[in-house]
Amino acid sequence: MAMGYREIYERYRHNILAGVLKPGDKLPSIRVLAEELNVARKTVEAAYAVLVGEGYLVSQGAKGTCVNPDLVLHSARPVMTPSSDDAALNQFLDLRDGAGYLRLGIPALNAFPNKKWLLLAGKAVRGLRPSEMTNPPVMGYTPLREAIASYVNIPRGLNCTAEQVFVTSGYRSNLMLILHALGEKSDKVVFEDPGYFFGQRLLKRFATRLHYAPVDRQGINVDYLLCHHADARFAIVTPSHHSPLAVTLSLPRKHQLLEWAAASQRWIIEDDYDGEFHYTRKVLPALKSLDNQDRVIYMGTFSKTVMPAIRISYIVMPKATIARFREIGEIMEAGQPVLTQKILTAFLSEGHFYKHLKKMRALYQQRRKMLLEALQTVYPGLFEIELSDGGMHIVAFLRASTRDSELAALWQRHQLQVSALSGWYCLSAKRYGLVMSYTNIASTEQAIALISRPRAETLALLA
């Protein structure tokens, strides 16, 4: 049966009331909509006429028809008060996705070799073969797996083959794949405290026995883990550059953690999210490089070194687990787009990636210095900074206040996308400060101008 004008009217009215169509949104022309719905033009005209008559739409003559810009809608749905967890999640989502300065996790995109990337992209498109246009390999494009294995074996100190590399779409995919391949839902999982905010929220929904181990200036407290959670199946750590405290796991604790995993057949998940960025000649090897018993599952990403939008990460699987990962991967994963993987393969194998990393290390070291100088200039004595050897962010610890949540909200109102350190904790013992990135600071003068925006309000708040 052909659609009548009443059904078209009801659909538009529902979408306007539901907020799907908003005041000012333009509608398709009568001719276009009639062709799309395979109905007579008069049917669409009648529906539009009723909606115009009721005030939902306005006709703008030659410009077409749009939702009434002056329409005021009152939602019939009750207002829900978000829980503290929901509020915290929404705040972090705003920080991650919103525009502003000092944003975490965003590399210096203006320094990325775009021309070289475009040349490689064009070459990859022209060289795309019919066999590469079918379903992508679930575990990743073989040449990319080979390039990743070659890369992690040299600067990160691993000893793996391409067969052990599983290419994924990011942190969530990595974590869920590992937990499903090697664990059970009832397994105890230990996470760092403080720890990566989105990792916490993900595990709270999928790990029924989630526990925390505190982090101090030497990294995760392994004595605490052994005392309270020695029966854990997984320990998830950021040993090279802790998220967010930026400390490095000490060598004695690394060995202690590896001994725990080997003795009781436990798993360590190493998240090496920005381990490429170090600012001295001393290259810090990954925890996995010390793993003689193959108990560490290594996670890496190109979001911080290339661009977040590339959505390519990887896992280095212990040899004994490859078959299990492949089996679970066939169920959970669909494979990443081959074209993007081909471009990244060329970027790695032709040496452009290494040149880019070298450039970024020098640039980030300079930009960190700029931000530190600005903080000292604008807020002398207010913050305490504990510098690490690398990374992409700093923590400006508050010397004499616990009001970092209020302070972070204040800075955010000035488009400074910092986050409150206390929001990264789950246990009761906390430290307080602001977590901020320096990767896109252009100069000391710019940094001073930016952080001076909330100066008067900051000093008043913390007085």
pLDDT digits (tens, 9 = 90+) for 232-246: 999 999 999 999 999
Confidence of residue 37 (pLDDT cuts 50, 70, 90): confident
pLDDT at 102 over 80: yes
CB 372 within 8 A of CB 102: no
Whether residue 254 has pLDDT greater than 50:
yes
* 86-108+361-461 and 112-350 share one fold: no
Fold of 5-67: Arc Repressor Mutant, subunit A (1.10.10)
SS3 annotation, 68-101:
CCCCCCCCCCCCCCCCHHHHHHHHHHHHHHCCCE
Average pLDDT taken over every residue of the chain: 91
What is the Cα Rg of the chain in Å? 26
- The strand pair at 313-316 and 296-301 is best described as antiparallel
DSSP H or E stretch at residue 433: strand 433-437
**Residue 186 in tokens:** 């009832």
Does residue 81 have a pLDDT over 50?
no
Q: What is residue 92's predicted lDDT score, i.e. its pLDDT?
A: 58
C-alpha 288/C-alpha 292 separation (Å) is: 9
Please give the torsion angle defined by the CA atoms of residues 192, 193, 196 and 202, in that order, rounded to the nearest 10 degrees. 80
Between vectors from CA 420 to CA 374 and to CA 367, what angle results, nearest 5°? Answer: 30
Give pLDDT tens digits for 148-165. Answer: 999 999 888 999 999 999
pLDDT of residue 283: 66
Burial (CB count within 10 angstroms: exposed 0-12, middle 13-18, buried 19+), residue 252: exposed
β-pair type (313-316, 383-385)? unpaired
Pick among 3.90.1150.10, 3.40.50.20, 3.40.50.150, 3.40.50.720: CATH of 86-108+361-461: 3.90.1150.10
Tokens of 291: 């793993």
CA distance 295 to 255: 12
- pLDDT, mean of residues 334-352: 95
In the sheet that 234-237 helps form, which strands lie side by side, from edge to edge?
165-168, 313-316, 296-301, 267-271, 234-237, 188-193, 209-216, 219-220
The first and second tokens of residue 5, run together, are: 């004008």
Which token pair is 219? 């990294």
Strands 65-67 and 296-301: unpaired
Q: Write out the CATH class of domain 112-350.
A: alpha beta
Rounded CA separation 296/38 (Å): 59
- Neighbouring-strand partners of residue 456: none
The domain ranges of the chain are 5-67, 86-108+361-461, 112-350
Q: How many residues does the chain have?
A: 463
Q: 3-class SS at 289?
A: helix
Structure tokens at 113: 């070799």
